[in-house]
Copies of this chain bind each other. A is one copy, B any other.
Amino acid sequence: MRGPRYTEIVRGLPSTVPFVGPETQERARGRAFSARLGANENVFGPSPHAVTAMQTAASDVWKYGDPENHDLRHALAHHHQVAPDNIMIGEGIDALLGYLVRLLIAPKDRVVTSAGAYPTFNFHVAGFGGDLIQVPYSDDAENPQALVAKADQTGAKLVYFANPDNPMGSWHTARKVADAINRLPDGCVMVLDEAYIEFAQEGTAPPLDTDNSQVIRMRTFSKAYGMAGARIGYAIAHQDLINAFNKIRNHFGVSRIAQAGALAALADQKHLNDTIARVAEARDRIATIAGKNGLIPLPSATNFVSVDCGRDGDFARKVLNGLISKGIFVRMPFVSPQDRCIRISAGTQDDLDRLEKALPIVLQEVSD
């Protein structure tokens, strides 16, 4: 009996599971984390109105969600002053990135990103057989000029650029981003991942330009809107590119509960602004805690702070493991020299009290 005949692409993919969640680590250590600061989740959570909307929708969950995501799409169009046809709702940015790669990338097609940038994007590129070309970070930031130059040089069909960046928290001005967009080579699409944009200051996002068929912007309800577990994000682009998603997406894929929650979350901009302020406070406190312990907090336009531990990746990993062993879930960049840092998401006061208490002890332990 001969079993499944996988495609050539699939046979070439690694079988190790590339993503390990905090629950997996909790099961391995036999107890829950006391502070969950590793996944850039938003501990301050969604608007209470969004929670209520999701709870109400839970009673109606026997119905499929609207496959057009009509109401949310129209509300987002109004919010962003674009047309509903310029918006595609998806099961989180991860799913939208997967669809986008699938639309554009056949085996051997070239794709450009930064070494150490969002691994799920790389996972999708590999998953469709694309040839991923990586440009180094420059001064702990993605380098849009270098990304576009590399795309030009290699004939890439797609270039990934996150602004602000994860895992470093760095960002570029709207002007610099617009300049990179203007230099995009013919036939190359830039996916501008703006998952963290609500945390950045004015002048970080270039104006939306849905006439430009070479740029697709990714936004999400997972970060500033506090709904990571609901799985809902959206893309903004030229209507032809948006419409192409309809050729391949799971039309009924977005949860009815998530649609209802996102609609209510979007309507509560006061809660969003309160959250942004609380995140800014938490970021400041993380920076203070880091500084008091002789570590260097990097500037951040996101809901996390990358903290330079001052030595190499091995040392940072020891600090990371020390914190984890004390119940504080954090993560770190995985490419040198960014891996001299650990990445700490904004937490509640309690979370950061725990961090403040644990960090000097951990540093003492790892310096022995």
List, in ascending order, chain B residues with CB within 8 A of A213's CB.
1, 3-4
Residue of B58, B95, B186, B246 near A257 (CB, 8 A) is: B58
Which residues in chain A, 1-39, are within 8 Å of chain B measured between CB atoms? 1-10, 13-15, 17-21, 23-24, 27, 36, 39
Interface-lining segment among A65-73, A316-324, A351-359 = A65-73
List, in ascending order, chain B residues with CB within 8 A of A58's CB.
51, 54-55, 58, 257, 261
Q: For the complex, is A360 an interface residue (Cβ under 8 Å from B)?
A: no
Tell me if A62 and B44 are in contact (CB < 8 A): yes
Tell me if B64 and A228 are in contact (CB < 8 A): yes
CA gap between A9 and B20 in the complex, in Å: 33
Residue of B57, B59, B70 near A23 (CB, 8 A) is: B70
Given A5-B157, A46-B62, A60-B229, are A68 and B254 also a contact pair (CB < 8 Å)?
no
Interface-lining segment among A97-105, A167-175, A289-297 = A97-105
- A279 to nearest B CB, angstroms? 12
Given A7-B103, A230-B256, are A41 and B23 also a contact pair (CB < 8 Å)?
no
Q: Is the interface of A mostly helix, strand, loop or mixed?
A: loop
Q: For the complex, is A231 an interface residue (Cβ under 8 Å from B)?
A: yes
CA gap between A261 and B17 in the complex, in Å: 25
Tell me if A252 and B3 are in contact (CB < 8 A): no
Tell me if B45 and A62 are in contact (CB < 8 A): yes
Residue of B21, B95, B104, B256 near A67 (CB, 8 A) is: B21
Tell me if A27 and B70 are in contact (CB < 8 A): yes
List, in ascending order, chain B residues with CB within 8 A of A68's CB.
21, 23-24
CA gap between A1 and B186 in the complex, in Å: 6
CA gap between A217 and B229 in the complex, in Å: 27
Residue of B13, B230, B255 near A247 (CB, 8 A) is: B13
List, in ascending order, chain B residues with CB within 8 A of A42's CB.
62
Q: Supply 24 A–B pairs (Cβ within 8 Å), ascending by A.
A: A2-B187, A3-B187, A3-B213, A3-B240, A4-B157, A4-B189, A4-B244, A10-B102, A13-B248, A19-B251, A20-B67, A23-B70, A39-B63, A41-B64, A42-B62, A54-B55, A54-B61, A58-B261, A61-B227, A61-B230, A64-B222, A92-B250, A92-B253, A228-B256
